[in-house]
């Protein structure tokens, strides 16, 4: 695998095509956002997925930004400060128990501070998910959902930020209202393409535990612990353990749900610290 410069013309054509697709997707998302109504409950700025599905006929649009200090990329060996632009998502309510999701980071910018210098930028990976509610919440039982996810290889591994590999995740989601708070968590399995060995894979355990506390009808506090574990002692680059904690807030104002949060990495490969910011709105496709 080469990390040097490649011929400029094919790469330029590829970048132009990527930006056209990204701009079109972002333009559609912004169009829906501008026409939308107040959002239903979702978990931004957390990573742990809320087991509740959005209403039938709803389209929830979201976008955000993140600054991650001392991010590391084991496949290329690069490290530095990363800025994620337009971490966007579209959530479609297809029925009382089914939600379809599309999401990903439109662009990553890396200011290199380890094993190099200068700046790198790359297209982020996008994901496709389906969330299926299995059990409704009762006074005794939690709400339970199942969520399979496919992560597409949109990134360019020669840039040193992404791995240009496909992954599959399957998680069971559960949540329960406890007093004023809503507690929820995820546990599942991930199958990652091995970035070094041909016809090989890395199997990981994924997990997340989160809490959402409404302080007022407009303001909520959130927290989480989220990560993944690889049972191998020496996983190949890209399949290592990851874990982080986040603290955040949601504020409903001007017909938009604003969110902000801070994050801290718990492994040596996770960003040392970071801040995230975003907003969410809903558009009603049908009733």
Position 92 in a domain: yes
Element (H, E) at 44: none
CATH assignment of the domain containing 132: 2.40.160.40
In the chain, the number of structural domains is: 1
Q: Indicate the SS3 state at residue 47.
A: coil
Position 2 in a domain: no
Q: How confident is the model at residue 80 (pLDDT cuts 50, 70, 90)?
A: very high
> Could you give the CA distance from residue 115 to residue 121 in angstroms, rounded to a whole number?
16
Q: Which residues are within 8 A (CB) of 132 and not within 5 positions of it... i.e. 6 or more apart?
A: 97, 98, 145, 146, 147
Position 206 in a domain: yes
Position 1 in a domain: no
The tens digit of pLDDT for each residue in 9-41 reads 444 444 444 444 454 444 444 444 333 333 344
Position 52 in a domain: yes
The tens digit of pLDDT for each residue in 167-207 reads 999 999 999 999 999 999 999 999 999 988 888 899 999 99
pTM summary value: 0.84
Structural domain including 95 reads 8-284
The tens digit of pLDDT for each residue in 246-267 reads 999 999 998 899 999 999 999 9
Position 3 in a domain: no
């Amino acid at each position: 695998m080469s990390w040097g410069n490649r011929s400029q013309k094919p790469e330029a054509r590829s970048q132009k095509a990527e930006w056209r697709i990204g701009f079109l997707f972002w333009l559609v998302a912004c169009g829906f956002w501008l026409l939308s109504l107040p959002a239903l409950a979702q978990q931004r700025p957390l990573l742990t997925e809320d087991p509740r599905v959005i209403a039938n006929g709803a389209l929830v649009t979201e976008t955000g930004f993140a600054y991650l200090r001392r991010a590391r990329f084991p496949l290329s060996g690069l490290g530095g400060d990363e800025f994620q632009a337009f971490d966007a998502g579209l959530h479609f309510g297809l029925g009382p128990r089914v939600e379809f999701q599309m999401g990903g980071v439109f662009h990553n910018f890396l200011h290199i501070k380890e094993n190099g210098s200068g700046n790198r930028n790359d297209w982020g990976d996008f994901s496709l998910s389906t969330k299926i509610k299995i059990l409704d919440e009762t006074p005794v039982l939690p709400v339970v959902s199942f969520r399979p996810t496919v992560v597409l290889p949109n990134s360019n591994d020669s840039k040193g930020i992404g791995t240009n590999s496909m992954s599959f995740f399957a998680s069971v989601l559960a949540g329960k209202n406890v007093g004023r708070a809503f507690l929820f968590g995820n546990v599942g399995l991930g199958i990652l393409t091995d970035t070094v060995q041909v016809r090989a894979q890395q199997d990981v355990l994924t997990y997340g535990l989160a809490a959402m506390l409404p302080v007022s009808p407009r303001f909520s506090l959130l927290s989480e612990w989220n990560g993944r574990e690889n049972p191998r002692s020496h996983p190949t680059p890209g399949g290592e353990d990851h874990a982080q904690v986040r603290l955040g807030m949601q504020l409903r104002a001007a017909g938009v749900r604003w969110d902000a949060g801070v994050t801290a990495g718990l492994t040596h490969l996770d960003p040392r610290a970071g801040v995230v910011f975003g907003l969410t709105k809903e558009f009603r496709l049908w009733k």
